[in-house]
Chain A
Amino acid sequence: MLFIENLLVTHEHRQILSLPKASLVSGELVAVLGPNGAGKSSLIKTICGEWSANQGQIYLHNKSLQQWSRQQLAKHLGVLPQASQLSFPFKAQEVVAIGATPLSLKRRDIDNAVQKWMQATDTWQFADRIYTSLSGGERQRVQLARVLLQLSQAEHAPLLLLDEPTSAQDLGQQHQLLNLVKSLCQKNGFAVISILHDLNQASRYADKVWLLHQGELVAQGSPPQVLQPETVMKIWGYQPELFFNSQGQQILV
């Protein structure tokens, strides 16, 4: 459903991102990995259209991103930012309801959808609290509920971009959030591209890994294929030890 071809992004003659070919099918969760400054956020910003590529094309459901109408694209492409600059005293549930902006929903349907997605993201208990008074992790989950509401009327499988969704969450919430995302992939056919930092989380939840280094896509494939100790040493400069858990999944420590 997502197809990227010859993508090249430069800024002041410096190459930021180069992606000869990458694709994603409906139901797949891709973890974007790489050290700081590898171009992970640039990739998210380019796919969602915030940055324009100097070269190359991005196709969503066989249609170039430029050919999508704003409203249709908004229904099919959702972005969870790392942090939001909202500084007005909205209630948490009002923030989520803003996700209905591109949708055609009645007031009552919006209320129901808000409740549904806030429950799914474990934020319903502070629906009436002021957004700016919430903790960083709580805010991020409220934003996730907003993005999921935004994608709830998609006619084709939607694409969800997550910029470090687990960075502000505690351990329990990290897994709850990734489980939710995973089940959206499996049950609703979502395709998800998520920047992650924890290699083991990537192994556990992702179907595929895109490994970025200095703006280049240096490896893509299943987590066990890509995440070998010698690759980790080459990219991050840290030599991990490889273990296997009782289900035979690999663990890097």
Chain B
Amino acid sequence: MSYAKYLPASLHGWRRSIWLVMSLLLLVSVLLSIMLGPMTLPAKQSLLSILDRLFGSDFSQLNAFQTAIIWELRWPRTLLAIFIGALLALCGAVTQGLFRNPLADPGIIGVSSGAGLGAAIAIVLLPASLSYLTTPVAAFLGGLITTLLVYRLAQSQNGGTSVLILLLAGVAIAAFSGAIIGFMTYIASDMALRELTLWGMGSLNGANSISIWLSALTCLGLLMFYQTQAPALNAFLLGEAEARHLGINVEKLKLQLIVVTAIGIGIAVSASGIIGFISLVVPHLVRMTMGPDHRLLLPLSALTGAVLLLMADIGARVILAPAELPVGLVTALIGAPFFAFLLIQQRKRLSTL
């Protein structure tokens, strides 16, 4: 029984083996991601190439050009997709817990809009020759600053923060940065405009060793930090007063989570632009199948987010091959109808929130 009513009957057996299933899915996705693209490579040879790389052997019969495609283009991109997907889903899960609203998104607390604002300013106003460096840094800083500002706005006199005010402040900041981004778009040169638009749609095209390492380390750090806070987050879901009565330093917890999540989203946005719906849909999916306990929800969301973004990126490369869609479009195309479906299914329960 338990979560049964949210699940088709055929999925019940999956609950126990969910880790195995998701890990296998990740491995399959990695292999597909290596194989597929404008030039399709044979599955067996691609697999052998990975083994060659891992064990220094020489099984693969791919030529130098094909090996280069794998290791110069597809492998970095695959890694970035995994880490960014995990990071987005992880931050989404924590934000939903922080706001005690299963439909909340990190965008709400102002990180995405702030990061977008930073990126827009960098793309339009700063020299284009440095944009590989300035855009990510500005996006990250913009996200962090806006989040702290929103949090500051929401802080009440007696030292508490109201989730409602936090939310409304996030809306105000989003509107403000929307206006500035609009202004930037208006004054942008044609080239900057194109870059701005593409960045806004999100892409994993820009994978390089810096962005991969940065997102990998952030992902790992966040996983470990959040895991220590998982029981406190569970208590937090009961309400702020209840969490306080359970001995949790609620103000400290909220500030830590907001800053750490802003860093996570800032890094993700700076590496890959704005990729929507992963942070919203993945924790929701995991919660529906496995329940809302953060000790399980957080790591499983990370794994599921990695799989989902990797698959979306494969789709982005394959659908219009040899042309390539921005991956943010793919996640929105799949994510938005799915999300609407969730809303309709749970309309009754959600209307009481």
How many whole Å from B217's CB to the nearest CB in chain A? 30
In Å, the complex CA distance between A88 and B235 comes to 12
When A50-B241, A90-B291 are in contact, do A70 and B235 touch as well, CB less than 8 Å? no
Q: Which of A27-35, A72-80, A179-187 contacts B (4 or more CB under 8 A)?
A: A72-80
Closest 7 CB pairs of A and B: A74-B247, A102-B247, A88-B292, A70-B247, A71-B247, A101-B246, A79-B245
Q: Does B248 contact A (CB under 8 A)?
A: yes
Q: Are A129 and B1 in contact, with the CB atoms below 8 A? A: yes
Q: Are A86 and B238 in contact, with the CB atoms below 8 A? A: yes
When A94-B293, A132-B349 are in contact, do A86 and B246 touch as well, CB less than 8 Å? no
Who on chain A is nearest to B243 by CB? A101
Among A86, A130, A132, the residue within 8 A (CB) of B2 is A130
Q: Are B239 and A101 in contact, with the CB atoms below 8 A? A: no
In Å, the complex CA distance between A132 and B2 comes to 12
Q: Are B291 and A99 in contact, with the CB atoms below 8 A? A: no
Contacts of B287 in A (CB 8 A): 88-89
When A79-B245, A81-B242, A102-B247 are in contact, do A86 and B1 touch as well, CB less than 8 Å? no
Who on chain A is nearest to B234 by CB? A98
In Å, the complex CA distance between A73 and B66 comes to 65
Who on chain A is nearest to B247 by CB? A74
Q: Considering the complex, which residues of chain B in the window 223-260 have a beta carbon less than 8 Å from any beta carbon of chain A?
A: 231-232, 234-235, 237-239, 241-242, 244-249
- Residues of A in contact, count (CB < 8 Å): 32
How many whole Å from A210's CB to the nearest CB in chain B? 21
**Per-residue A-contact encoding for B1-26, CB less than 8 Å = 1, 0 else:** 11101100000000000000000000
Contacts of A73 in B (CB 8 A): 247
Who on chain A is nearest to B292 by CB? A88
Q: Does B57 contact A (CB under 8 A)?
A: no
Q: Which residues of A contact B (CB under 8 A)?
A: 48-50, 52, 70-71, 73-75, 77-79, 81, 84-91, 94-95, 98-99, 101-102, 128-130, 132, 150
When A50-B244, A81-B242, A130-B2 are in contact, do A89 and B237 touch as well, CB less than 8 Å? no
Q: Does B353 contact A (CB under 8 A)?
A: yes
Contacts of A99 in B (CB 8 A): 246
Q: Considering the complex, which residues of chain B in the window 90-137 have a beta carbon less than 8 Å from any beta carbon of chain A?
A: 100-102
In Å, the complex CA distance between A89 and B297 comes to 12
Q: Are A52 and B158 in contact, with the CB atoms below 8 A? A: yes
In Å, the complex CA distance between A16 and B283 comes to 43
Contacts of A79 in B (CB 8 A): 241-242, 245
In Å, the complex CA distance between A73 and B239 comes to 18
How many whole Å from B157's CB to the nearest CB in chain A? 12
How many whole Å from A231's CB to the nearest CB in chain B? 32
Contacts of A88 in B (CB 8 A): 100, 102, 237, 287, 292
Contacts of B235 in A (CB 8 A): 98, 101
How many whole Å from B311's CB to the nearest CB in chain A? 26
When A71-B247, A102-B247 are in contact, do A91 and B239 touch as well, CB less than 8 Å? no
How many whole Å from A180's CB to the nearest CB in chain B? 20
Chain B contact-residue range equals: 20 to 34
When A87-B101, A101-B234, A101-B235 are in contact, do A77 and B245 touch as well, CB less than 8 Å? yes
In Å, the complex CA distance between A95 and B102 comes to 17
Contacts of B100 in A (CB 8 A): 85-88
When A52-B158, A89-B292 are in contact, do A98 and B238 touch as well, CB less than 8 Å? yes
Task: With A71-B247, A88-B100, A128-B2 given, name 18 new contacts (CB 8 A).
Answer: A48-B245, A49-B244, A50-B241, A50-B244, A77-B245, A86-B100, A86-B237, A87-B100, A89-B6, A89-B288, A98-B238, A101-B231, A101-B234, A101-B246, A128-B1, A130-B3, A132-B349, A150-B245
Among B239, B246, B291, the residue within 8 A (CB) of A74 is B246
When A85-B100, A98-B235 are in contact, do A70 and B291 touch as well, CB less than 8 Å? no
In Å, the complex CA distance between A90 and B1 comes to 13
Contacts of A81 in B (CB 8 A): 239, 241-242
Among B231, B247, B248, B291, the residue within 8 A (CB) of A89 is B291
Contacts of A130 in B (CB 8 A): 2-3, 5
Q: Are A90 and B247 in contact, with the CB atoms below 8 A? A: no
In Å, the complex CA distance between A49 and B353 comes to 27
In Å, the complex CA distance between A87 and B349 comes to 9
Among B2, B247, B293, the residue within 8 A (CB) of A101 is B247
Q: Considering the complex, which residues of chain B in the window 191-246 have a beta carbon less than 8 Å from any beta carbon of chain A?
A: 231-232, 234-235, 237-239, 241-242, 244-246
A-B contact pairs, 14 of them (CB 8 A): A74-B245, A75-B247, A77-B245, A79-B242, A81-B241, A85-B100, A86-B100, A86-B237, A88-B100, A90-B292, A98-B231, A98-B246, A102-B247, A128-B2
How many whole Å from B32's CB to the nearest CB in chain A? 33
How many whole Å from B65's CB to the nearest CB in chain A? 52
Who on chain A is nearest to B160 by CB? A50
**Per-residue A-contact encoding for B341-353, CB less than 8 Å = 1, 0 else:** 0000000010011
Among B102, B234, B237, B291, the residue within 8 A (CB) of A91 is B291
Contacts of A77 in B (CB 8 A): 245
Contacts of A95 in B (CB 8 A): 238
How many whole Å from A246's CB to the nearest CB in chain B? 41
Who on chain B is nearest to A68 by CB? B247
How many whole Å from A164's CB to the nearest CB in chain B? 15
Q: Are A89 and B3 in contact, with the CB atoms below 8 A? A: yes
In Å, the complex CA distance between A39 and B242 comes to 20
Contacts of B101 in A (CB 8 A): 87
Among B5, B237, B249, B352, the residue within 8 A (CB) of A70 is B249
